[in-house]
Amino acid sequence: MTKKISIKDIAKELNISITTVSFVINGKSEEMGISLATTNRVNELIIEWGFNPNSAARILRTGKSKTIGLIIEDIGNYFFGNIAKIIEVEASKKGYNVFFSSTDNSDIRAKDLIQKMKNSSVDGMIITPTKGLADDIKLLEKQNVPFVLLDRLIPDIDANHVILNNYKGAFDLTNHLIKNGYQQIGFISIFSDLSQMDEREKGFVDALAKDGKTILDETMLKVRFDLSGKEIVFAIEKYLKKNPQLDALFFATNYLGVYGLEALQNANKKIPKDIAVVSFDDNDLFRLYTPSITVAAQPIHDIAVEAINLLLNIIHDGDKKNNPEGIVLDPELIERNSSPKKKTMLMVD
């Protein structure tokens, strides 16, 4: 069987009561007058199905499995990988295990993972929702399954969530470039209907507008999420050739920033002499690169801790499901060597 086995499944298969299965699992067959034949049938099915009786017994006693599900976009991504690691550590401190999986931003996979988590009897879920997950989230609410949305929201759904103030991070990062004297700023992002990407673009555009600037279509590049790294690098190189007037680049995600550094090297563009660079979200490479890259860094530790604590509070206090709480954290602007003041840069030259 592919789904997580429960006591109920064992009982149904053998046409006996859940209580009888529980007594067998807890070694009380003789005490409760359960026949040897029934006891053997239960034990044989447990072995055949790979059933975990310790977990099942705990669920029966407490109503809790002491496990949570974590459904994120990409476990290999710097941000999500670190989020998962911290959540696992923090959950362990509270006696919980974590099952985590990646959606790769696929609605189909996200829906399947939610169902699998429910079949596994998790006590609750932390979910980075994909665009088409609204109906599934509403169903979780209807079924009273504790959950917390992470990193992004779903329009018109009031749910417990922990997100970043993406607008402020992008606004501050753009304003940093403007204050340092950069006039022709390019914006590189992905095609996306996700809330956080919309907010980053809006923060960028509004910061320019506040300074009396507008962005032209040709100075904004968007690439598809499913492009390979090589294809993204090529697209950025082509974009740079079309826009030689740019004196700064804003990368809306860290992985685009990493590919952007490669594209700039291929185009023989020197940072910051020829062009300044900033990126939304930090990366180890950005700290180690020469010159180091200015970023709007997400408070990864705080996001992870707030998410797991909020979920556990919901699990232990059912009323919190009916009174959703929203936690919004601000990113940190970390000024590094890739975007100095222009006059300072000229003095150095």
Q: 22-61: per-residue pLDDT in tens?
A: 887 766 777 788 888 888 788 778 767 766 655 555 555 5
Partners of residue 223 on adjacent β-strands = 190
Percent of the chain past pLDDT 90, that is, above it, reads 64
Q: Is 181 left (phi over 0), alpha (psi -120 to 50) or beta?
A: left
Residue 349 CB: number of other CB atoms within 10 A?
6
The model's pTM? 0.75
pLDDT bin (cut points 50, 70, 90) of residue 348 is: very low
In contact, 322 and 279? CB cutoff 8 Å: no
Instruction: Say what the alpha-carbon torsion angle 179, 181, 185, 188 is, to the nearest 10 degrees.
Output: -60
- H-type alpha helices, the chain: 7-14, 18-25, 36-49, 53-62, 78-93, 107-119, 134-142, 166-179, 195-210, 229-242, 254-266, 284-288, 300-316, 342-348
Cα gap 127→279, rounded to integer Å: 25
Q: How far apart are CA 224 and CA 322, in angstroms?
A: 38
Degrees (nearest 5) of the Cα angle 131, 134, 135?
Answer: 135
C-alpha 60: how far from chain center: 32
In this structure, are residues 246 and 186 in contact, taking their beta carbons and an 8 Å threshold? yes
For every residue of 101-141, DSSP letters joined together read EE-TT-HHHHHHHHHHHHHTT-SEEEE---TT-HHHHHHHH
- Provide the residue type at 82 as one letter: N
pLDDT at 65 over 80: no
Strand partners for 164: 329
Q: Among residues 218, 313, 293, which one has the least CA distance to residue 253?
A: 293
Q: What angle do CA 160, 164, 166 make, to 5 degrees?
A: 130
pLDDT at position 194: 80
Confidence band, pLDDT 50/70/90 cuts, at residue 349: very low
- Using omega within 30 degrees of 0 as the cis cutoff, is the peptide bond preceding 272 cis? yes
By CB atoms closer than 10 A (0-12, 13-18, 19+), residue 17 is exposed
Q: Over 60: is that where the pLDDT of 344 sits?
A: no
Distance (Å, whole) CA 237 – CA 345: 24
Domains and CATH numbers, the chain: 7-62 (1.10.260), 67-164+300-330 (3.40.50.2300), 166-297+334-348 (3.40.50.2300)
What does the pLDDT look like over 266-310, one tens digit per residue? 999 999 999 999 999 999 999 999 999 999 999 999 999 999 999
Q: Tens digits of per-residue pLDDT, 86-135?
A: 999 999 898 888 888 899 989 999 999 999 888 777 899 999 999 899 99
Residue 208 has pLDDT above 60, yes or no: yes
13: which 2 tokens? 């298969």
**Beta-ladder partners of 295:** 279, 334
Three-state DSSP class for residue 226: coil
Contact between 272 and 209 (Cβ < 8 Å)? no
- Residue 318: pLDDT band (50, 70, 90) is low
* Cα–Cα distance measured from residue 164 to residue 194, given in angstroms and rounded to the nearest whole number: 13
User: Is pLDDT above 70 for 184?
Assistant: yes
pLDDT, mean over the chain: 89
- Residue 312, judged by CB atoms within 10 A of its CB (0-12, 13-18, 19+), counts as buried
- Which pLDDT score is estimated for 97? 85
What tokens does 263 get? 């594209």
